[in-house]
Amino acid sequence: MRRRLLAMVPSGEDLDVPGSINMWLFVVGELFIFAFYFFVFMMYRTHATADFVGSQRHLNLAVGAGNTVILLTSSYLVALAVQAAREGSHDRARRLVRWTVALGVVFMTIKLGEWAYEVRHGYTFPSDDFFMFYFALTGVHLFHVLMGLGILGLVLHELRTPALQRQFVVEAAGTYWHMVDVVWIVLFALLYVLR
């Protein structure tokens, strides 16, 4: 029975996925974990919608929207980088990944600036349930952006080294960066937009 079940699970080599099957498993797992956080957030929000909306007004929608555009643009650039690497234009791919990293750093800088602004105005982690989730969820996301920048750094090393330049590494990094983007879009909707 067990063997039959295992036979139904394709091994990495059998699956024709961009990047690496391990990275896809990681991304799917990450999405489940974030979905759990979003579920808990919505549970708390449902019980105190007015309070959550009241606190949400202290966030700057334009800053959140600006960061969304920055991250979406970076995702577009990493997709172009994957395309360039597939065509063998490794120098172009490297330039595009560098721009992706730069936009990731800009995203982090804006987010940290936003945190500082909120804290200066008295809205801190323990202020209320909304800001508890705001700092925790954006903090966890920021940690993923940081990991993404580490992975993109690895890609730059790959693209710089002619002996490496492995396509699946570039694709796996792109997969991860898109996940970081998708999670942010949901976070943006939940924290900034949802009334």
Partner 1 sequence: MTATVRPAPVIGGVAPGDRLDLRICWWITVGFYGLFGVIFVLLARVMPPPGADLSTEQIVAFYADHRTTIKIGFGILMVAIGGAAIASGIVAYEMTRMSVGKVFVYTYIVSLSVGALPGCLLAAICCLTATFRADLDPQVTELLFDITFLSFVGSLGCFVANYSILALAILLDENEVFPKWMAYVTIWQIVTELLAAPVFIFRTGPFSWNGVISFWEGTALFGIYMMLLIRLVRRNITTPAAVS
Between CA 62 and CA 69 the distance in angstroms is: 10
Instruction: Give me the least distance between CB of 55 and partner 1, in Å please.
Output: 15
Cβ of residue 37: shortest distance to partner 1, in angstroms?
7
As measured in angstroms, the least distance from the Cβ of 99 to partner 1 is 25
Contacts of 171 (CB under 8 A, 6+ apart): 18, 19, 20, 82, 85
147 binds partner 1, rule: CB under 8 A? yes
Binding residue (CB under 8 A) for partner 1 from 1, 4, 50, 126: 126
Q: Does 26 bind partner 1 (CB under 8 A)?
A: yes
Q: Which of 11, 50, 121, 195 binds partner 1 (CB under 8 A)?
A: 11
37's CB contacts (< 8 A; 6+ apart) are: 137, 140
Distant-in-sequence, close-in-space partners of 173: CB < 8 Å, separation ≥ 6: 19, 78, 97, 148, 151, 152, 154, 155
**Residue 125 touching partner 1 (CB under 8 A):** yes
- Shortest CB 110 distance to partner 1, Å: 21
Dist. CA 186–CA 140, nearest whole Å: 14
Q: Does 22 bind partner 1 (CB under 8 A)?
A: yes
Crossing angle between the packed helical segments 167-188 and 129-160, to the nearest 10 degrees: 160
Q: Of 102 and 164, which has the nearer Cβ to partner 1?
A: 164
DSSP state of 193: I
Q: Under rule CB under 8 A, which residues in 70-109 are in contact with partner 1? A: none
Q: Which residues bind partner 1 (CB under 8 A)?
A: 6, 9, 11, 20, 22-23, 25-26, 29-30, 33, 36-37, 40, 44, 125-126, 129, 132, 136, 139-140, 143, 147
